[in-house]
Structure 1
Amino acid sequence: MTRQRRKFDTSLKLEVVRMIKEQGLSVQHVSESMSIGPSAVRRWVKQYEDEQAGQPGIGKPLTPEQQRIRQLEQENRQLRGDVEILKKASAFFARELK
């Protein structure tokens, strides 16, 4: 029988990171008190630090700024794809008119 993976929402992850960063609690103490694995807590702290440094972290973004950046990057990719399609279509129709 397989164990189901637990899912944590972004607000809980940010609260855990704040407990470590602002209150100075240890990863071990926070993970034990909240019944979360220490490796997950370390990963959230690392991701938060990366996001604060302006780098995209791994996984779902924690901060609202990074969430917005990811959304805009996805929209940018979509729009670039749309532009490529329009370029090809206009080239095709320009050839047909000649």
Structure 2
Amino acid sequence: MGSKYTKRYTEEFKREAIALVDSTGKTVTAVARELGISSKSLRGWYRQAKADWGESAPGEPTSAEREELKRLRRQNAEQAKTIEILRKAAVFFAKESDR
């Protein structure tokens, strides 16, 4: 849900850009400049690819781990809403039984 000006790149384009960095020995910034993309974007893709290949710094999550984390956070938010509804219902019924 980025801004309407955010460009979307295909996975194939990202893979090829990452391969250019690896095969040419050029810096990420130089390759990004040649391709006409943001060096920040290419750097992020490159880091994520390294993490997926197991070549990243310790503690850097892989794409699969990131997806699982997103799923778990969504599930956690849904459960928190359910708990809040149940808490309110318990308070309501406790007041009703006192009458």
- Shared fold per TM-score greater than 0.5: yes
Q: What's the CA shift for 1:95?
A: 1.6
Counting only pairs closer than 5 Å after superposition, residues 45-60 of structure 1 correspond to structure 2 as 45=46, 48=48, 53-54=59-60
Query: What's the % identity of the aligned pairs?
Result: 22
Which contiguous aligned blocks of 4+ residues in structure 1 show a shift greater than 6 angstroms?
Answer: none
The within-5 A match list for 1:1-16 is 4-9=5-10, 12-13=13-14, 15=15, 16=17
Unaligned runs of 5+ in 2: none
Q: In terms of Rg, which structure is larger?
A: 2
- Deviation string 1:11-64 (CA, Å, 9 cap, x unpaired) is 644x244654x6555213432454322232124345x37896246xxxxxx813
In the alignment of these two chains, the number of paired residues is 87
TM-score by length of structure 1 reads 0.58
Q: Which residue of 2 aligns with 1:36?
A: 37
Give the aligned partner of residue 66 of structure 1: 66
* 2:91 corresponding residue in structure 1: 91
CA separation of 1:10/1:97 partners in 2, compared to 1, >3 Å: closer, same or farther? farther
Name the CA distance, whole Å, in 2 between partners of 1:6 and 1:40: 10
Compute the TM-score of the two structures, normalised by the length of structure 2.
0.58
Q: Does 1:26 align with 2:47?
A: no
Cα distance change of structure 1 residues 6 and 95 upon mapping to structure 2, 3 Å threshold? same
Deviates more, 1:68-77 or 1:27-36: 27-36
Shift in Å, 1:96 = 0.5
Higher RCO structure (Cα 8 Å, ≥6 apart)? 1
Cα distance in 2 between the residues matched to 1:65 and 1:9: 21
